[in-house]
């Protein structure tokens, strides 16, 4: 099952999994919408109550970056985090006021380097220029518009949208 938070919410509220045997389920994915530790734990409880032996896999990304950018790992995953970057993808948070790349656990705008990023927005160079950002070393980054941080394991925590943040 690969679904958004809304799917899981409706399924849980309407008891769609009650009495079902999900022991055949190999992977259950949550992505496409904001996640919280409470939601993730609730979905894992429902899966477990249905004999499912796997826990939820969480992903993060955006269509401009060809979908998934990070995913949780079967070996290491912290509830509430969106996982680690896929191969050849770099994720960092930056101080929005200074443009300085943040260290571990420092909150800022999440930006991504990915070989799978789109070339540009069709017929909209202004939007394309706003999506791309060049750091002080000349590296090209893609702005996600999300606020969050990276922990020492490399897992990404998304806290919300930059436009909704008053002070970061």
pLDDT in tens, 54-82: 889 999 999 999 889 999 987 778 899 99
Q: Give the helix/strand (H/E) hosting 62.
A: strand 56-62
Count CB atoms within 10 A of the CB of residue 47: 20
CA 41 from chain centre, in angstroms, equals: 16
What value does the mean pLDDT take over residues 88-116? 95
Task: Please state the φ and ψ torsions of residue 8, each to the nearest 5 degrees.
Answer: -60, -40
pLDDT for 7-30, tens place per residue? 999 999 899 999 999 999 999 999
> DSSP 3-state assignment of 30?
strand
Rounded mean pLDDT of 150-164? 88
């Amino acid at each position: 099952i690969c679904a958004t938070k809304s799917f899981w919410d409706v399924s849980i509220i309407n008891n769609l999994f009650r009495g079902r045997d999900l022991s055949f389920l190999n992977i259950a994915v949550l992505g496409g919408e904001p996640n919280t530790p409470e939601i993730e734990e609730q979905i894992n409880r429902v899966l477990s109550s249905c004999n499912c032996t796997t826990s939820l896999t969480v992903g993060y990304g955006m269509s401009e970056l060809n979908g998934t950018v990070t995913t949780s790992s079967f070996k290491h995953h912290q509830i509430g985090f969106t996982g680690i970057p896929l191969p050849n993808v770099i994720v960092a948070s930056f101080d929005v006021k200074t443009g300085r790349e943040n260290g571990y656990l420092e909150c800022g705008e999440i930006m991504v380097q990915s070989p799978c990023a789109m070339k540009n927005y069709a017929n909209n160079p202004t939007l394309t220029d706003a999506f791309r950002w060049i750091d002080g070393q000349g590296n090209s980054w893609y702005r996600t518009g999300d606020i969050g941080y990276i922990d020492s394991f490399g897992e990404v925590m998304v806290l919300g949208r930059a436009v909704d943040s008053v002070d970061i």
